[in-house]
A = this chain, B = another copy of it.
Amino acid sequence: MHYNLSLIGFGNVARAFVRLLERKRDLLQSQYGITYAVTGIATGSHGFAVNPNGLDTNKALELVENKQSISVLNNFHLPITDSLSVIQHSSAHVMFENSPVNHHTGQPALNHVRAALEAGQHVITANKGTVVHGYRELTALANAKGKKFLFESTVLGGAPLFSVFRETFPLAELHSFKGILNATTNLILSRMEAGETFDEAVKYCQAIGVAETDPSADVDGWDAAIKVAALVTVLMGIPLKPQEVERKGIREITPRMIEQAKESGKRYKLVCSAERRGDSVTARVAPELVDASSPLYGIMHSSSGVVFRTDVLPDYSIIVTEREGMSGGPVETAYGLFADFVSLLK
Q: How far is the CB of A70 from the nearest CB of chain B, in Å?
A: 27
Q: How far is the CB of A193 from the nearest CB of chain B, in Å?
A: 11
Q: Is the CB of A339 within 8 A of B169?
A: yes
Cα(A315)–Cα(B321), bound, Å: 5
Q: Is the CB of A327 within 8 A of B342?
A: no
Partner of A320, one of B294, B314, B321: B314
Cα(A342)–Cα(B172), bound, Å: 12
Q: Is the CB of A305 within 8 A of B326?
A: no
Partner of A318, one of B317, B328, B342: B317
Q: How far is the CB of A207 from the nearest CB of chain B, in Å?
A: 21
Q: Tell me whether A312 and B332 are in contact in the complex, defined as CB-CB below 8 angstroms, given that A160-B169, A305-B317, A319-B319 are known contacts.
A: yes
Cα(A318)–Cα(B313), bound, Å: 13
A151 part of interface (Cβ distance < 8 Å):
no
A281 part of interface (Cβ distance < 8 Å):
no
Q: Tell me whether A158 and B313 are in contact in the complex, defined as CB-CB below 8 angstroms, given that A27-B171, A28-B171, A298-B297 are known contacts.
A: yes
Please give, as numbers and ranges, the residues of chain B lying within 8 Å of A320 by CB-CB distance.
313-317
A121 part of interface (Cβ distance < 8 Å):
no
Q: Is the CB of A167 within 8 A of B167?
A: yes
Which 9 residue pairs spanning A and B have beta carbons closest together? A160-B168, A167-B167, A170-B342, A163-B168, A317-B319, A315-B321, A314-B326, A312-B335, A27-B171
Chain A contact residues, CB within 8 Å of chain B: 20, 24, 27-28, 31-32, 157-160, 163-164, 167-172, 292-295, 297-298, 300, 303, 305, 307, 309, 312-323, 326-328, 332, 335, 338-339, 342-343, 346
